[in-house]
Chain A
Amino acid sequence: MYDLIIIGGGPGGVAAGVYAARKKMKTALITDSFGGQSLVSAGIENWIGTKSISGFDLAKNLEEHLRAQQGIEIMDGDLVAAVIKKDDGTFSITTKNGVTLETKNILLASGSRRKRLGVPGEDKFDGKGVVFCTTCDAPLFGGKAVAVVGGGNSALEGVEDLLQYASKIYLFVRSEVLRGDPVTQEKVKSHPNVEILWDSVIEEIKGEIFVNGVKYKNVKTGEEKDIPLDGVFVEIGLVPNSDFVKELVTLDPFGKVVVDHKTQQTSCPGIWAAGDVSDVLYDQNNISVGDSIKAVLNVYDKIKKS
Chain B
Amino acid sequence: MAKVTIYSTPTCVYCKMAKEFFAKNNVSYEEFNVASDMKAREDMVNKSHQLGVPVIDIDNNIVIGFDQKTIEGLLGLKKA
- Counting chain B residues whose Cβ lies within 8 A of the other chain, the interface size class is 20 to 34
In the complex the two chains form, what is the Cα distance from A40 to B12 in whole Å?
Answer: 8
Is B14 in contact with chain A by the CB < 8 A criterion? yes
Instruction: Specify the chain A residue showing the minimal Cβ separation from B12.
Output: A136
In the complex the two chains form, what is the Cα distance from A20 to B79 in whole Å?
Answer: 26
In the complex the two chains form, what is the Cα distance from A136 to B14 in whole Å?
Answer: 8
In the complex the two chains form, what is the Cα distance from A131 to B51 in whole Å?
Answer: 9
In the complex the two chains form, what is the Cα distance from A55 to B53 in whole Å?
Answer: 17
Is A227 in contact with chain B by the CB < 8 A criterion? no
Tell me the interface secondary structure of chain B in the complex.
Answer: loop
Interface readout for B13-41 with A: 1 if CB under 8 Å, 0 if not?
Answer: 11111000000000000000011100001
- Asked whether, in the complex, the Cβ of B9 is within 8 Å of the Cβ of A139, the reply is yes
Is A281 in contact with chain B by the CB < 8 A criterion? no
- Counting chain A residues whose Cβ lies within 8 A of the other chain, the interface size class is 20 to 34
Tell me which residues across on chain A come within 8 A of B14, comparing CB atoms.
133, 136
- Asked whether, in the complex, the Cβ of B49 is within 8 Å of the Cβ of A209, the reply is yes
- Asked whether, in the complex, the Cβ of B11 is within 8 Å of the Cβ of A42, the reply is yes
In the complex the two chains form, what is the Cα distance from A128 to B53 in whole Å?
Answer: 11
In the complex the two chains form, what is the Cα distance from A54 to B53 in whole Å?
Answer: 19
- Asked whether, in the complex, the Cβ of B9 is within 8 Å of the Cβ of A140, the reply is yes
Enumerate A175-228 residues with CB–CB distance to B below 8 Å.
209-210
Smallest CB separation, B21 vs chain A (Å) = 11
Is B68 in contact with chain A by the CB < 8 A criterion? yes
Smallest CB separation, B9 vs chain A (Å) = 5
Contact of B12 among A77, A129, A135, A209 (CB under 8 A): A135
- Asked whether, in the complex, the Cβ of A140 is within 8 Å of the Cβ of B13, the reply is no
Q: A40-B13, A77-B68 are in contact. Are A210 and B53 (CB under 8 A)?
A: no
Is A137 in contact with chain B by the CB < 8 A criterion? yes
Tell me which residues across on chain A come within 8 A of B52, comparing CB atoms.
127-128, 131, 133, 136-137, 140
Smallest CB separation, A54 vs chain B (Å) = 8
Smallest CB separation, B43 vs chain A (Å) = 13
Smallest CB separation, B24 vs chain A (Å) = 12
Q: A56-B16, A77-B69 are in contact. Are A140 and B11 (CB under 8 A)?
A: no
Is A39 in contact with chain B by the CB < 8 A criterion? yes
Smallest CB separation, A73 vs chain B (Å) = 15
Tell me which residues across on chain B come within 8 A of A138, comparing CB atoms.
11
**Residues of chain A at the chain B interface (Cβ within 8 Å):** 33, 39-40, 42, 54-56, 77, 127-129, 131, 133, 135-140, 142, 209-210, 231
Give me 10 A-to-B residue pairs in the complex whose CB atoms sit less than 8 angstroms apart, sorted by A's number. Answer: A42-B11, A56-B16, A77-B79, A131-B51, A136-B13, A137-B9, A140-B9, A140-B41, A209-B49, A210-B49
Known: A77-B79, A140-B51. 16 other contacts (CB 8 A): A54-B13, A56-B13, A77-B68, A127-B65, A128-B49, A131-B52, A137-B12, A137-B51, A137-B52, A139-B9, A139-B11, A139-B34, A140-B9, A140-B34, A140-B52, A210-B51
Ordered nearest first, which 5 A-B pairs have the shortest CB separation?
Answer: A139-B35, A136-B12, A127-B52, A139-B9, A137-B52
**Residues of chain B at the chain A interface (Cβ within 8 Å):** 9-17, 34-36, 41, 49-53, 64-65, 68-69, 79
